[in-house]
């Protein structure tokens, strides 16, 4: 089978879905790899690097025409969908819960499509989980971005001219990105606090040397490794519990996302106005509406002396490392789905069932929903 690695066309994207090292491993497994011209250039992987790994450099049209499997990071756009042919297998992030028109378009083309962002949160799928691998880097990068935008340094510093007190950092959401943000801010010498709806994250926060801000009554449990939406009552209790830390924070990083839903508002505009002058908010959930009521995607806003930066959990600025991790996730996923005869199509297997959104033109999730509703 031929695997086609496409160049990412989304504005600002610098990553590539497959690196030369992983191409070499796939070829050893019996695949042929076609790489689009300059697909990895923004991530510092030249065409010559891929060729040395055994790949063939092809044009975009050639890859769409000849490849059996098409791999990319971001969802396929309208122009790309026009080039698809029946029977091809697509592997990318599809965000199928919030992109019904995309899934409908893929179904009409008669393809099979796996969504990497739908990977089940189970132990044997950890090495295929692109959300974890990419969010890890996003958490790190958020702290570095915050350090650049702040007017203070992180650590305690004693000088002949006097003592500089450490910065205070507050993290909303203790998933992969939040944990990495905590660890990075601690390494830089900040005083770090964190909060999360999932009470089971308290131990993780404290193990990294940060303080967990508890909310009255035990928090919600996670569902399949993801936080679920909190009740209005809980949101109010959380708001009250974190306000003291929020108003004293020099840097606030928000990471709370709910799959297929708008991001929950954790910081209101009223609260932003009460924060101290010079504070910085990095809202990593801005792509889904934002955790901060004042944030706008890809905008730096100044609200009453507070700098509010709306961004997403997509670490394009560390594209080399991000591409390496994403590619390894893809390799493990392809190895799981295939054997010497090609795709196994084990539709009852948990990883396949969770990620296979369209199978040979059939929207599996819609069928499952209809079947569930008819049985209940």
Catalytic residue (one of 29, 121, 187, 237): 121
Judge whether 50 counts as a catalytic residue. Answer: no
236 is catalytic: no
Rounded CA-CA distance 303/278 in Å is 10
CA–CA gap between residue 53 and residue 105 (Å, rounded) = 34
Selected catalytic residue, list 50, 107, 117, 129: 129
126 labelled catalytic: yes
* Largest Cα–Cα separation, the chain: 75
Catalytic residue among 48, 98, 126, 151: 126
| Closest-CA residue to 55 (of 22, 83, 79, 80) | 22
The active-site residue, picked from 10, 207, 226, 317, is 226
Closest by alpha carbon to 258, among 132, 62, 42, 97?
97
Candidates 107, 132, 133, 245; catalytic one: 132
Residues labelled as active-site residues: 121, 126, 129, 132, 226
């Amino acid at each position: 089978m031929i695997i086609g690695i496409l160049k990412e066309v989304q504005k600002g994207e610098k990553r590539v879905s497959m690196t030369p090292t992983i191409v070499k491993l796939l070829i050893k497994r019996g695949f042929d790899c076609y790489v689009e011209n300059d697909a990895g250039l923004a991530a510092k992987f030249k065409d010559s690097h891929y060729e040395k790994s055994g790949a063939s450099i092809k044009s975009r049209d050639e890859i769409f025409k000849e490849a059996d499997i098409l791999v990319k990071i971001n969802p396929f756009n309208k122009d790309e969908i026009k080039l698809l042919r029946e029977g091809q297998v697509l592997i990318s992030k599809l965000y199928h819960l919030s992109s019904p028109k995309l899934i409908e378009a893929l179904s009409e083309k008669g393809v099979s499509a796996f969504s990497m962002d739908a990977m089940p949160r189970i132990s044997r799928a950890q090495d295929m989980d692109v959300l974890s691998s990419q969010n890890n880097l996003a958490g790190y990068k958020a702290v570095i971005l915050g350090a650049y935008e702040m007017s203070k340094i992180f650590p305690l510093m004693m000088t002949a001219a006097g003592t500089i007190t450490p910065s205070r950092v507050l993290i909303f959401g203790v998933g992969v990105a939040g944990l990495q943000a905590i660890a990075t801010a601690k390494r830089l010498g900040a005083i770090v606090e964190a909060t999360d709806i999932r009470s089971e994250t308290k131990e993780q926060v404290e193990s990294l040397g940060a303080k967990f801000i508890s909310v009255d009554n035990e928090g919600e449990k996670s569902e399949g490794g993801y936080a679920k939406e909190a009740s209005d009552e809980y949101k109010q209790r959380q708001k009250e519990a974190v306000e003291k830390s929020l108003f004293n924070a020099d840097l606030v990083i928000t990471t709370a996302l709910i799959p297929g839903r708008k991001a929950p508002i954790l910081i209101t505009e009223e609260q932003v106005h009460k924060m101290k002058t010079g504070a910085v908010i990095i809202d990593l959930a801005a792509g889904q509406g934002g955790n901060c009521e004042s944030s706008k995607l890809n905008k730096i806003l100044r609200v009453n002396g507070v700098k509010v930066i709306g961004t997403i959990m997509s670490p394009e600025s560390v594209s080399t490392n991000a591409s390496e991790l994403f590619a390894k996730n893809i390799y493990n996923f392809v190895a799981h789905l295939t054997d010497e005869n090609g795709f196994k199509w084990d539709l009852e297997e948990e990883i396949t069932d969770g990620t296979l959104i369209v199978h040979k033109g059939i929207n599996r999730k819609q069928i499952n929903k209809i079947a569930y509703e008819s049985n209940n």
